[in-house]
Amino acid sequence: MGVVFAAEGPRGERVALKAIARSKPAEEAERRARFEREISVCRSISHDNLMPIVDHGVDNATGSPYFVMPLLEGEDLETTLAREKCLAPDAAVRIVLQACRGLAMLHQGGIVHRDIKPSNLFLERRDDEIVVRVSDFGLAKLGELSGSLTASGTAMGSPAYMAPEQSTSAKHADARADLWALAMVFYHSLAGRPAFERAGSFFHYVVDSAKDVPHLQDHAPWVPAALCRAIHAALLRAPDARWPDVPEMALGIEMAVGAAAAEATLHVSDIRTASPAERATVEPRAILPESWHDLLRG
């Protein structure tokens, strides 16, 4: 829906400028509304793990709205995964926990992202450190704005990371759909592939109520059982069975890996492929939870 340019600000500073991509006249009104929604989200919520905007306006020549962001150094997680395939577990954990902090702030503001995927997690380089920025709020569900833009029964999002309830009605997807999507990003980061590599395989899963999300250890047997269980607790078909919110999910991940690993700073050097020795490890097989409450019972 948008196009981003590297640009120069009025004082000569380098910035990123996002404008609406050209579209058919019939699509123009909705695209403008979604673009203005993205501006509203960025203006209403400020957090180090969210993409900020520094200015916005309307182009005098074209009448098109735009907004301006810092031109950050780094790359999105999709680019990282295309190069590294499967990440070392400690790196994947720290990326996801930073994303959790940004998502928690969105949810506290009553905002559901609805399009969490690797390309919407930007890994900003700050000298030797990495700061994860949740970005692209064009599909976000923001209070009363969502009602006029998303019809009931409309699927919206990216199938590889989309919660099953969102595939049938994005309008009724709540914050637990973002938990599913982030857990799918986690799954992809560890396994080197999404749980559902084709849209058809995902929709077959949605239709066949007897099917489960493929066991993470089928593709990444080196992932510890406790971490595997914490991830799958966000990938349960019924929203009520999943982690109830982002802080609980983050706590579950922290309990699985330990506080020291969860709270460690993410460095540029940490972004690496899981080593042959790590991938040669076969951890005990995790018994997947039927509800997030199962993790509380051990």
Would you call 76 a catalytic residue per the annotation? no
Under 8 Å between Cβ of 82 and 125: no
Those residues with Cβ within 8 angstroms of residue 176's Cβ, 6 or more apart along the chain or in another chain: 163, 239, 242, 243, 244, 245
Q: Tokens 């971490």, residue?
A: 227
Helix (H) or strand (E) holding 14: strand 14-20
Cβ-proximal residues to 292 (8 Å cutoff; 6+ apart), any chain? 233, 234, 236, 241, 242, 243, 244, 248, 252
Q: Residue 178: which of 157, 192, 193, 198 has the closest Cα?
A: 157
Q: Which one from 55, 76, 115, 127 is the annotated catalytic residue?
A: 115
**Helix, strand or coil, per DSSP, at residue 131:** strand
Task: Decide if 103 contacts 134 (C-beta within 8 A).
Answer: yes
Segment 19-27 long-range contacts (CB within 8 Å, at least 24 positions apart) = 19/59, 19/64, 19/65, 19/66, 20/64, 20/65, 20/66
Strand partners, 58: 65
What is the rounded distance in angstroms from the CA atom of residue 47 to the CA atom of residue 285? 38
Cα(159)–Cα(184) distance, integer angstroms: 10
Containing 42, the helix (H) or strand (E) segment is helix 25-44
Which residues does the annotation mark as catalytic? 115
